[in-house]
Structure 1
């Protein structure tokens, strides 16, 4: 069935049921194999859009072994990688907080606040470009940047490597993972990346629904799924297994020319046409990664939905040095009941992340 169901519904029922006036829509059109779902509404400038899907197998990496992953887990939780000896990777990417930190802006060295929200590292293995501005091409390129960033961990890489080489437990673990010889930056990056690759979302209710467990979503959530793929236009950017197109879009939230200005992707490319663009975040496990957006501006989902429903701030309010908003940003005219259904559906995209406890760290040698 390839029909598109446009609805005019004023209220939604309780307990996941649609009211009587929603007879034009039947949730059963989604309780069937995905290839028979109603046709998605895709904007002509969205580019290729993948249908929502479960996560695939982890992509291979020859340097990812059990030994490098175990070593990377220790390093990820070790504050000795920072200049102060007090900040670890896990300080901003806490497994109990969706592998983010729950703050609008992260605190770094000397309690300095950054200017961006800490992106969760969930499912980072599938992203080719990391950070909000995409300045790192994959996990290996990303792994060491927070260590040397003066606002984050504020360490000199050579001093970190010297410190690790003085710790007997790390010398042994690095030798087991990479072979004999001094610990170097390449090994440190590979170990951290090997652990970070394993931070993967667990199957959520939508995954189970797609696999044929049609009781995993109720009628209201299925209606929200339908809106996500059609009238609300969410699939244009939040698509595929990651619920992200992995591209960069200008949504008008850069505060350009004002306090909290952030030029976004331009900082990585140097191109004025990238000013104000940020990477589309994944919506997997979004219930555990608030506050949202690059500046942590939104503490609740309804605020985000209301902004998108209004077409964000609109081109007329943009700073004259900014490029136009993404053509995918348009007023949606969703009714209150449709917004409720869409929000209910978004809550089906989360499954509590796997519990990872801090490992026992190698002891530092006695001070002379």
Structure 2
């Protein structure tokens, strides 16, 4: 804990002694001024006002990102990560020789691509937004539908997807093996220059595990820099955890519960239909559900949602403030056991214009 927070925490303790623990906690839970709010958030996250949560929420206290986890069978080394970066930037992993992993995950765009949905092989447009991979190392499942559980598995999917890189793994592997510029990097990373599909996947995964979000005002605030968030951003943080309800799904170090939720944007039975997690599990409860993304650095990774539907944070916040989307079945869909129901954690919030602006200010500080 930084000195500034030590002093603030001491003030909170003194208030508790003089006003009584119950009164002090009440004051902290419902700050009535920017000064009281700053005092309430002066300590470590576990001392902050408790979040307002609905039944079914899986909340984990906010915290800095820990070191990236890595599997025992693919430890990250500088040599392996360097090889992975070389492969990540190489369009020879695609059928056309023109599309690289970095085409849809550009460092300059927060390792996303800034498009509603990405263009791939033969300028085909995918149906889903390219999520940032800057936090992929901490994800317990990958892709919007969670179809991959490891980065090693994930790294090969775009290569063979017909709308993305559209290549065949044996062809790609042979092409990389034939490139003399790869002999030394593979030998340095794996001990021999042999190029295999498995080694390509391991190197790509190792590189992605070296990525992390850029430092932000929010990260510095978590680290003890009390003035990193201004008053408006701090009000937004409090709203995020309370009235706005964001913490029902966005919490922990990633600001994600790493679960799957239906926001009503599935377009079930319509031209833009996307069944989400159901395509992986075939569980009717998963129709229209998508993985909760990390919000770290989200100001750099729009447009947002699995289909890139919202190009502005103002529109995104307005959508949640109104309670998400709640499509009703058409007459022929009544009684359809697969017709999705919007998640119970998504409810109308009735934020004022000023509160929405405060919340957006906080989101921009992430």
Tell me, yes or no, if structure 1 residue 29 matches structure 2 residue 40. yes
Alpha carbons 1:266, 1:272 under 8 Å: kept: yes
CA separation in 2, counterparts of 1:146 and 1:95?
A: 18
Give unpaired runs (5+ residues) of structure 2. Answer: 1-23
Does 2:69 align with 1:53? no
* Distance of 2:271 and 2:158 partners within structure 1: 24
1:149 aligns with 2:197: no
**Aligned match for 1:290, one of 302, 307, 311:** 302
Alpha-carbon displacement from aligned partner over 1:282-335 (angstroms, at most 9, x marks no partner): 110011101000000000011111111111123646865323211101111111
- Relative contact order: is structure 1 or structure 2 higher (C-alpha 8 Å, sep ≥ 6)? 1
Counterparts of 1:323-338 in structure 2, within 5 Å, are 323-338=340-355
Shift of 1:181: 5.9
1:77 to 1:301, Cα distance in 2 relative to 1, 3 A: same
Distance 1:104 1:330 in 2: 25
Question: Is 1:234 paired with 2:246?
Answer: yes
- Conserved 8 A contact 1:5-1:24: no
Distance 1:284 1:317, change over 3 A: farther
| Equivalent residues of 2:34, 2:235 under 8 A apart | no
Q: Residues of 1 paired with 2:131 and 2:263: CA distance?
A: 17
TM-score (norm 1): 0.86
Structure 1, 203-212 or 233-242: larger mean CA deviation:
203-212
Task: Tell me what 1:360 maps to.
Answer: none
The separation in 2 between residues aligned to 1:269 and 1:179, in whole angstroms, is 39
Structure 1 pair 215–151 and aligned structure 2 pair: CA distance change class (3 A): same
Contact 2:29–2:50, Cα closer than 8 Å, also in 1 = no
Higher share of residues assigned helix: 2
Distance in 1 of aligned mates of 2:137 and 2:304 = 21
For residues 256 and 34 of structure 2, what CA distance do their matches in structure 1 show?
Answer: 32
Give, in angstroms, the shift of residue 148 of structure 1: 0.6
2:185/2:193 contact within 8 Å kept = no
The number of residue pairs the alignment matches comes to 335
1:243 matches 2:260: no
CA drift at 1:215:
0.9
Give yes or no for contact 2:113–2:130 (8 Å, CA) kept in 1.
yes
What is the CA-CA distance between 1:24 and the residue it aligns to? 10
Q: Secondary structure at the match of 2:234?
A: helix
Q: Is the 8 A contact 1:309 1:333 kept in 2?
A: yes
Contact 2:135 2:211 in 1 (8 A): yes
The alignment yields a C-alpha RMSD, in angstroms, of 1.9
Normalised by the length of structure 2, the TM-score is 0.87
Q: Which residue of 2 aligns with 1:170?
A: 182
